Amino acid sequence: MSEHADQERTSPATEARIRDSFGRQGLMRHLGARITEIAPGRVHIVLPNRPEVTQQHGYVHAGATSAIADSAGGYAALTLFAEDSEVLTVEYKINLLAPAAGDHLEAVGTVLKSGRTLTVCGLEVFGVQEGGRRKLVANGQQTLIRVDAPRTP
């Protein structure tokens, strides 16, 4: 493995912390979303296209599209935070560029600027067809705030 590849991997502890946190998200579980990639400053979340997440025309609903984008950005930020930190979304804006169609959606959150208090992430959501053809269906930007992790008794 190259030195560059080592730098592009999160630590096993960070990956476990993110997967554990994601597993506690009721909405992501309800939607059927899953994390498929975790790297420093970048997280991918996949959402299978199924009737329960569609709107009246059969496309994936904007709410589901936005939710996976928001979570991908939040977890991308969390990859760069200390173990005693958590993250909350302050605001985000999403542009719906095309109907969210495909076998599944893939949201990619990428840290643009990580700060002591606020972090800014870029958000992209792709509709992915069988065979891997991807089409950008939404993009946006998000601001997150770093908070202390809740203390356990």
Chain segment 94-126, per-residue pLDDT in tens: 999 999 999 999 999 999 999 999 999 999 999
The set of residues, in sequence order, having a beta carbon less than 8 Å from that of 81 and lying 6+ positions away, is 87, 146
Give the residues of the chain that fall short of pLDDT 70: 1-7, 152-153
Identify the pLDDT of residue 149.
Answer: 84
Tell me the pTM: 0.92
User: How confident is the prediction for the chain on average, in pLDDT?
Assistant: 93
Question: Which range of residues forms the domain containing residue 28?
Answer: 3-148
Whether 90 is covered by a domain: the verdict is yes
CA 40 to chain centre: 13
In a domain, 69, yes or no: yes
Short-list 120, 124, 151, CA closest to 138: 124
| CATH at 24 | 3.10.129.10
101 belongs to a structural domain: yes
**Residue 153 placed within a domain:** no
Give the number of domains in the chain.
1
Contact between 87 and 81 (Cβ < 8 Å): yes
Strand partners, 120: 113, 143
- 41 is a domain residue: yes
pLDDT at res. 6: 43
